[in-house]
Chain A
Amino acid sequence: MQNAPELYTFNANRMNTEVSMEDRLWDYIDGLSSPAEKSTVEALMTANVEWQGKYKELLNVHQLMTGTDLDAPSMRFTRNVMDEIARYQVAPATKTYINKKIIRGISGFFLCVIAGLLVYVFGQVKWSSSGSSSLKLPSVDLGPLDKFDTGKFFTSLPVTLFMLIAVVLGLVLLDMYLQQKKKEQVS
């Protein structure tokens, strides 16, 4: 007598074989098998009674499915639809009423804001090193702009929040653009 684990393994193997057999037979019936797979399945059906029986069983289901009738709506259906659409007009295609210039303008605005933010952030970094390096970065004299205190504008909470929102929106825009590209490649 088989013990429990052996019996379990035996049943699991048998189930897997059966599932694989059914999947392969369905693919064969649906015409989705490759030519090589098709001849393998045909050889298996000729040699194996179990495959033959399963094939017949699945083919019966397939034939029943293809033979079923469609349900029909009431006789007045077409008339009802035509009466209904008489009140409407075909809406213009979505593409025509989405103005690309506006979208580009918004994108440009956010890109400028992001670029400005990046320049500001990098401007705050202290490039001088406390190490022994004698390398000195060139400094640019901005004249009156040097006296301009940017700190009082960029430290306030609303500006920081605005910057954060702009960054998030920019990332969303970039994500949408990349997704669109991906979709175009897939299609």
Chain B
Amino acid sequence: MTSFPLLAVLLALSTAAYYIGRRKAFALVNRAGGSVRLHSRPTYHGALTALWCAVPALLIFGFWLAFEGQAITHLVVKDLPESLRSLPSDRLNLVINDIRNLESGSFVSQTAEPAIRAAADHYRRLRSISSQALAAVTIALMAAAVLVVRSRIAPGLRARNHVEGILTGILVACSTIAIFTTIGIILSVLYEAIRFFNVVPISQFLFGLDWSPQMAIRADQVGSSGAFGAVPVFLGTALISAIAMVVAVPIGLMSAIYLSEYAGRRLRAIAKPLIEVLAGIPTVVYGFFAALTVAPVIRDWGNRLGLDVASESALAAGLVMGIMIIPFVSSLSDDFINAVPQSLRDGAYSLGATRSETIRQVIVPAAIPGIIGGVLLAVSRAIGETMIVVMAAGLSANLTVNPLAAVTTVTVQIVTLLVGDQEFDSPKTLAAFALGLILFIVTLCLNIIALYVVRKYREQYE
């Protein structure tokens, strides 16, 4: 990328602008022999100059880079010979890719035709023009900003207020990124998903029982391509998540109860962080563990018992996913158990209840809304978990609830559909976005419900 030197120049100029502004302010004071009082301290004049120098230039820089590619591609396509321009859009994309590859000097799939070669030259020329123009525009803008601000620097200039105003603006902008991210997710996933539902009816996607997206081999087969009934995929996700929950909820809950109600200070200080370590291990490590250690063991045991176990059984993936989620359940439950007021415990003890009776009949019922919230959050984690299932669960979409069979999940399908070569118009690729949309909606609902339940619960005892 050629823009990094420019970025460095931009930073250097802004630093220079800071000193220019500050010197001007000092000069003002000195010229008057110290009798003039500035409204703000000279550093604020410097900062104001630097901000006016950097912020607009950076904005232009960002926008330029973001839209440069599209603009150039558009111009190049406009100048392509008629025969190439009239190609259908997916073929045209291939041509554009060729041009780009040729331009960047990397490997080209076929020997280039003269038209494409010319287009690549054109592309290269436009790119160099663009980068020079960008440099010229930003540097000119910065110089102008420095000159204007410098000329405005006067004893009465409220530089501090200006600087603080700009900074507040930047803070506000940063805080809205979360909203833009959400909007970006919704728009991008929804847009592609709607394109998918134009090809495959939404009812067929949601209720169809047959999932085999890999059948389309050539682009012109699209109409007769595989089936997109996602029920087996959903069922597989539910099966693996259920297995994970069966592992994680009892173990997580019981260890939380033991740690908060029974364990001494020493055990708690050692065991709690160790259990949390399970949450910090990258999921790809769990995936490796599931595929190479757990799955063979389960298959061997199953075969010894005379059961037919698939080598990529749902059980292995679910089991390991459950291990991963244990700390999640346990630390959340721990919080909620600790939040139960001591008076409830004391009341139960005074009635003669044993500790376990107190826990089972008083503390857990009191904490149950929080625990349910925590479990819902854990379920949403399990559904969205990717690497474990990609590495340990299968690809074949079987409509089964047998934990020893191979099933596939939403995340596995998204990864297999999108990794590797993709044409962006085939329903196969778009199906991944439809699955992503479902995934997003389901986890969002789970999160909202869970956060609501948890908040309500917290308020209850605060």
Q: Do A and B bind each other?
A: no
On A, residues with C-beta under 8 Å from B are: none
